[in-house]
Amino acid sequence: MRNNSFDLIRHVAALMVLVSHHFVLSGFEEPGIAGYNSLGGIAVIAFFSISGLLITRSFLNASSFTDYLSKRVARIFPALIACAFIMTFVAGGLFAEGYLTYSAALVDFLRISVFGRADIAQITSDFIFSESFNGSLWTLKIEFAFYLLLAGAIGIYRRALMPGALLALFCMATFVLGNGVTHPLAPKLAVYGCAGIAFFAGSLLAFHKQYLGSARRLLLMLAGSVGLIVAVMGTPLAAVMVTLGICLATLSLGLLYVDHTIRGRFDISYGIYLYAFPVQQLVINKTALAFWPSMIASALIVIVLATASWRWVERPALQWAHRKRQRGTEVATAAD
C-alpha cells in the first residue's frame, strides 16, 4: 500500500485546517458544508480516515504490541513536547509578562505535553478568540485513544469483525447524539463520534487490501461515496453517512493517484497541524496585517516551523524507533 498519495492529502488537509481556523480566529464564520461541518472539520475526517487505514496496517505488520506502540509514541510525542515547549517557554516569555517567573509555565508545558488543555490565558486573554492558544490539539488525544482501542480490539480477535463492530458502535452513537440527545456535551461527543467513524472505516478497509488495488473498484467507491454525500446531505443521517462518504472518497482518491513528489521524502503535515493555531493567534492579534496577508504570513511561518520540526524532531524520533525495531529483530533472530 505504498503506491498512494496519502502524504499529499495530509498536507492539503493540514492547510485546509489552517485556512478554516483563520476565519474563526479572526472573528468570522468558518467556511464549510452548511448543516454538516466546517472546512477544517472535513479535513480532520480525512486525517482520521487515512490514519485508520495506515495505523491498522502498521499494527498488523508489527512484531509486537511494544513495537507498534513505540512507533506511535515516536510519531506523536516528541513533536508535541517540542511544540508545548515553544508555546509555553518561548511564546509565553515573549507575549505574557511575568509568565515565566511562576510555576504556571511549567505546569502548562507538562499538561500540553500529555494532551491536556492548551488554553494559556496569560497570552490569549485579549485575543479575538480567547478560549485556547492551540485549539487544534484536541484531536491528538482522541487519535491516540483510537490507537490503543484498535490494538486492544485486534489483539483480542485479529479479524475485520473487530473494526467493523467498532465502526457500527460509533455510527449508532453519533446518530443518537446528533438526533436524540439534548445534553450540552452531545455536540462535542458527536464530533468525537465522527472521528471514530472515519478512523474505524479506514481500519476496516485495511483488512480488505486485496480489493483496494483495482482502479475500477476504487472509481466505483469514489463515485458511490460522492453519491452518498449528495443523497443524505441535510437529513438526520448526514452526520454518519456524510462522514462515511468523505472517508471513502479520501481513501479512494489516495489510492487512485500515486504521488511522486512528496511521498516518502518528507512529511510536515503534523508540524503544520501543531503550529498553525498558535502562530495564527499571534499573527492575527499581535500584528496589524489584514485578513488575507495575515493568513499568508501565518502559513509561511508555520511551514518553516513544521519543516524544522520534521528535520530535527520528528524524523530523528522515527529513525530511532526504526533502529530499535531492527535491533529487536536481530536479537530475536540471533536467539533462534
Q: What are the tens digits of pLDDT across the range 88-122?
A: 999 999 999 999 988 999 999 999 999 999 999 99
User: pLDDT confidence of 64, banded at 50, 70, 90?
Assistant: very high
Q: Of the candidates 138, 77, 142, 136, which has an alpha carbon nearest to the alpha carbon of residue 110? A: 77
User: pLDDT confidence of 260, banded at 50, 70, 90?
Assistant: confident
> Residue 33: enclosing H or E segment and its boundaries?
strand 32-33
Cell numbers that stand for 14 in this block = 493540514
For residue 5, which amino acid is it?
A: S
What's the pLDDT at 184?
87
Q: Of the candidates 19, 5, 2, which has an alpha carbon nearest to the alpha carbon of residue 256? A: 5
Tell me the C-alpha distance between 79 and 63, whole Å: 25
Mean pLDDT value across the chain: 94
Give the SS3 label for residue 32: strand
What's the pLDDT at 322?
84
pLDDT over threshold 80, residue 249: yes
Q: How many CA atoms lie within 13 A of 244 on its CB side?
A: 24
pLDDT over threshold 80, residue 318: yes
What's the pLDDT at 225?
97
What's the pLDDT at 3?
83
Q: Are 271 and 310 in contact (CB under 8 A)?
A: yes
What's the pLDDT at 332?
53
Q: pLDDT digits over 3-37, tens only?
A: 899 999 999 999 999 999 999 999 999 999 888 99
Q: Of the candidates 100, 152, 155, which has an alpha carbon nearest to the alpha carbon of residue 122? A: 100
What's the pLDDT at 211?
81
Cell numbers that stand for 99 in this block = 509568565
What's the pLDDT at 250?
98
What's the pLDDT at 212?
86
Beta bridge partners of 217: none
Residue range 244-253: mean pLDDT, rounded:
97
For residue 217, which amino acid is it?
A: R
| Distances 187 to 29, 37, 64, 147, 238 between C-alpha atoms, Å | 18, 12, 37, 23, 14
Beta bridge partners of 37: 33
pLDDT over threshold 70, residue 333: no
Q: pLDDT digits over 178-225, tens only?
A: 998 888 889 899 999 999 999 999 999 999 988 888 899 999 999 999
| Distances 45 to 14, 143, 214, 229 between C-alpha atoms, Å | 11, 11, 24, 14
1 vs 160, which has greater pLDDT? 160
Q: Are 269 and 13 in contact (CB under 8 A)?
A: yes
pLDDT over threshold 80, residue 136: yes
